[in-house]
Amino acid sequence: MLRTKEQYHESLFKMRPNIYIGGNKVGRDDPMIAPGIKVYDISFDLANDPAWKGIATAHSPIVNKEVNRFCHLPENPYDLMLKQKLIHLGSRRAGGCIQRCMGQDGITALAVCTKEIDEAKGTDYHARFLKFLHYYIENEIAGCCAQTDSKGDRLKRPSQQENPDHYLRIVEKRSDGIIVRGYKMSITTAAYAEEMAVVPTRALTEEDQDYAVAFVIPSDTEGVKMVTRPVWMRGKDSKDSNPYCQMGVSDSVIIFDNVFVPWERVFMCGEWEFGRRIALLFANSHRHSYCGCKPAISDILCGTSLLAAEANNIAKASHVREKISEFASASALAYSAGIAAALFGQKTSSGVFFPNEIYANVGRRLTGELIYHEYNILTEIAGGISATMPFHEDFEKGENVEDLKKFIVRNPNFSAEDSLKIWKFVEDLGCSPISAWYKIAGVHGGGSPIMETISLNLDYDYEEKKRVARYLAGLDPELDDSSMLDLAPTLGTSLV
Ligand SMILES: Cc1cc2nc3c(=O)[nH]c(=O)nc-3n(C[C@H](O)[C@H](O)[C@H](O)COP(=O)(O)OP(=O)(O)OC[C@H]3O[C@@H](n4cnc5c(N)ncnc54)[C@H](O)[C@@H]3O)c2cc1C
């Protein structure tokens, strides 16, 4: 038996309360956090379902046993494809973000970067990290990744900020560890993750070396305070609420108030030259993950638009068929970019197989920014009912119930009860706090569009394209297209 959701809950609810919501300190059993925990539960249930063995699970060479795939580091293209498939699968069940990939992407970044720092600097971070990784995988830990600093004045580097806490930094080095302080923000699942991987958010200069710090600590470590913003549906947690309404998410501002991190958990300490590398490793791994969840979000919006079209009895209208096809292209485009990123990924010196940055970035960028358009299609097909519908209770009690039951049926093939379920779901999906969350996440989650532009401009070979144009224009007599030879998957050594 792999780790179950009950075992996860048991350890979670024992953690030291360090979460604040609306000015109150709350425990991890607070009902406002529960909708996010319910999403994590899906990842445990899938791993324990024999139907998904080999997809939701993987053989880990680190602990030499089958584990939850969300704790496994990909070793080859097929592993990466299965990671993407699992995210797609879980996200469809969760009604959106499956929320386990941030932790996995953070651990991936640390696995790759600790090895590279050691190779360049002769440090011993990687061996230290592998020891930690053994514990992490053996116990199938549910983790998150805290990368985004509060950043203060966007035009100033970390060391130039008026308030130095705007970026997390080392304030003291001791014989047994380091002390860190500063603010991270928008950290999804931090309130119900057991461990948090902490990595820098941007390229650093020598002046910023105190900000070059990476580690993993339990989320309830002394000095860590989380101001958490839960997002969930209209307080609906009754047995009648639809599966979608039972799910939710929480993001946290994390205050690190002189937090002690023991050396065995420190995986970067002052190596400012690797700030950009580790920031991009997390971001690019996460953008590949997005190629798994975004297709699920498009699928859900597609299915709901079709349902709304049927309920409006316009499913056969030509403009509806045309609009629906846009979901198919968004979903398939993101998914195929993820497969390409996996297939043309690269074996890193750590043994981790890393997705191709270009394919991961375009998948994330093109389909992430499409999200407002996709919500617009749902709105166009459904009409304005999602914003103006009476409360559920009005359909259940009071003197207007019979009229409302007649009012809600548009297509007589649907009963009043099913029509109400459809239109309430359209409201939940298209006009609720969580739909707003998904729109913003589509633009900024995994890095805002400019970050993807920067990433693409670093990796995409524009000169090579110019060479093709020069040859075709007759400026150069020969075409050097040897770079095309690189377009083959690279395989290498194993993680252990
Ligand atoms: C729903 C959601 C979930 C998230 N989950 C996580 C998570 O789990 N872990 C995590 O680490 N992060 C998470 N994030 C944070 C996410 O990575 C950031 O939102 C993203 O990187 C953008 O950063 P920002 O929000 O600070 O926006 P900013 O970086 O402030 O961007 C705002 C604008 O300012 C511009 N800008 C910024 N800096 C400069 C500059 N130097 N020069 C010129 N222009 C500039 C940008 O181009 C952009 O147009 C999440 C975000 C969202 C919305």
Residue 288: CATH number of its domain: 1.20.140.10
- Report how far ligand 1's centroid is from the alpha carbon of 424 (Å): 32
Q: Which of 199, 194, 193 is nearest to 215 (CA)?
A: 199
pLDDT of res. 455: 83
> 329: domain range?
281-458
For the chain of 496 residues, list the mean pLDDT of each consecutive stretch of 10.
Answer: 96 98 97 95 98 97 97 96 98 96 98 98 98 98 98 96 98 98 98 98 97 98 98 63 90 98 98 97 96 96 98 96 94 95 95 95 87 96 94 92 97 96 94 92 87 86 93 94 68 48
- Which residues contact residue 178 at a Cβ distance below 8 angstroms, ignoring those fewer than 6 apart? 170, 172, 213, 215, 260, 261, 263, 266, 269
Task: Please report the atom of ligand 1 found closest to the CA of residue 441.
Answer: 1
- Report how far ligand 1's centroid is from the alpha carbon of 375 (Å): 22
Residue 2: its H or E element:
none
Is 276 inside a domain boundary? no
Write down the residue that tokens 């009409």 correspond to.
383
Q: Is 146 in the pocket of ligand 1 (CB under 6 A)?
A: yes
Q: Is 145 in the pocket of ligand 1 (CB under 6 A)?
A: yes
- Which residues contact residue 85 at a Cβ distance below 8 angstroms, ignoring those fewer than 6 apart? 55, 292
Q: Is 187 in the pocket of ligand 1 (CB under 6 A)?
A: yes
Q: Which of 10, 25, 31, 454 is nearest to 235 (CA)?
A: 31
Rounded Cα gap, residues 337 and 356, in angstroms: 10
CA-closest residue to ligand 1 atom 12: 148
Question: Phi/psi of residue 379, each to 5°?
Answer: -60, -45
Is 406 inside a domain boundary? yes
Give every strand in the sheet of 213-218, ordered side by side: 143-146, 195-198, 213-218, 266-269
Q: Is 196 in the pocket of ligand 1 (CB under 6 A)?
A: no
Is 155 inside a domain boundary? no
Q: Which CA distances in Å does 117 have to 214, 304, 398?
A: 12, 48, 68
CA-closest residue to ligand 1 atom 45: 154
Q: What is the token pair recorded at 179? A: 């002390």
Rounded Cα gap, residues 376 and 232, in angstroms: 21
Q: What is the token pair recorded at 95? A: 């009604």
Is 327 inside a domain boundary? yes
Task: Please report the atom of ligand 1 found closest to the CA of residue 449.
Answer: 47
DSSP state of 71: G
Q: Is 452 in the pocket of ligand 1 (CB under 6 A)?
A: no
DSSP state of 210: G
Rounded Cα gap, residues 59 and 115, in angstroms: 22
Give the count of domains, the chain: 1
pLDDT of res. 456: 86
Is 339 inside a domain boundary? yes
Is 430 inside a domain boundary? yes
Contact 317/462 with Cβ under 8 angstroms?
A: no
Write down the residue that tokens 């070059």 correspond to.
212
Is 491 inside a domain boundary? no
CA-closest residue to ligand 1 atom 27: 448
pLDDT of res. 202: 95
Write down the residue that tokens 């100033």 correspond to.
156
pLDDT of res. 342: 96
Rounded Cα gap, residues 203 and 144, in angstroms: 21
CA-closest residue to ligand 1 atom 34: 154
Q: Is 104 in the pocket of ligand 1 (CB under 6 A)?
A: no
Is 228 inside a domain boundary? no
pLDDT of res. 239: 53
Q: Is 155 in the pocket of ligand 1 (CB under 6 A)?
A: yes
Rounded Cα gap, residues 315 and 303, in angstroms: 12
Q: Which of 481, 445, 473 is nearest to 96 (CA)?
A: 445
Q: Exposure string (b/e) for 155-186, b if CB count within 10 Å is 16 or more?
A: eeebbebeebbbbbbbeeeeeebbbbbbbbbb
Q: Which of 110, 154, 155, 438 to mutate to test the pocket of ligand 1 (most atoms within 8 A of CB)?
A: 154
Q: Is 447 in the pocket of ligand 1 (CB under 6 A)?
A: yes
Q: Is 43 in the pocket of ligand 1 (CB under 6 A)?
A: no
pLDDT of res. 237: 46
Q: Is 251 in the pocket of ligand 1 (CB under 6 A)?
A: yes
Q: Is 147 in the pocket of ligand 1 (CB under 6 A)?
A: yes
Task: Please report the atom of ligand 1 found closest to the CA of residue 102.
Answer: 8
Contact 360/337 with Cβ under 8 angstroms?
A: yes
Q: Which of 97, 110, 188 to mutate to test the pocket of ligand 1 (most atoms within 8 A of CB)?
A: 188
- Report how far ligand 1's centroid is from the alpha carbon of 89 (Å): 27
Q: Is 154 in the pocket of ligand 1 (CB under 6 A)?
A: yes
Q: Is 440 in the pocket of ligand 1 (CB under 6 A)?
A: yes
**Which residue type occupies 189?**
T
- Which residues contact residue 402 at a Cβ distance below 8 angstroms, ignoring those fewer than 6 apart? none
Rounded to 10°, the helix 416-430/433-444 angle is 40
- Report how far ligand 1's centroid is from the alpha carbon of 78 (Å): 31
Q: Is 102 in the pocket of ligand 1 (CB under 6 A)?
A: yes
CA-closest residue to ligand 1 atom 7: 187
- Which residues contact residue 489 at a Cβ distance below 8 angstroms, ignoring those fewer than 6 apart? 77, 343, 344, 345
Task: Please report the atom of ligand 1 found closest to the CA of residue 146.
Answer: 11
Angle at 186 between CA 180 and CA 192, to 5 degrees: 80
Q: Is 103 in the pocket of ligand 1 (CB under 6 A)?
A: no
- Report how far ligand 1's centroid is from the alpha carbon of 496 (Å): 35
pLDDT of res. 238: 58
Q: Which CA distances in Å does 453 have to 66, 205, 344, 362, 450?
A: 38, 21, 20, 9, 5
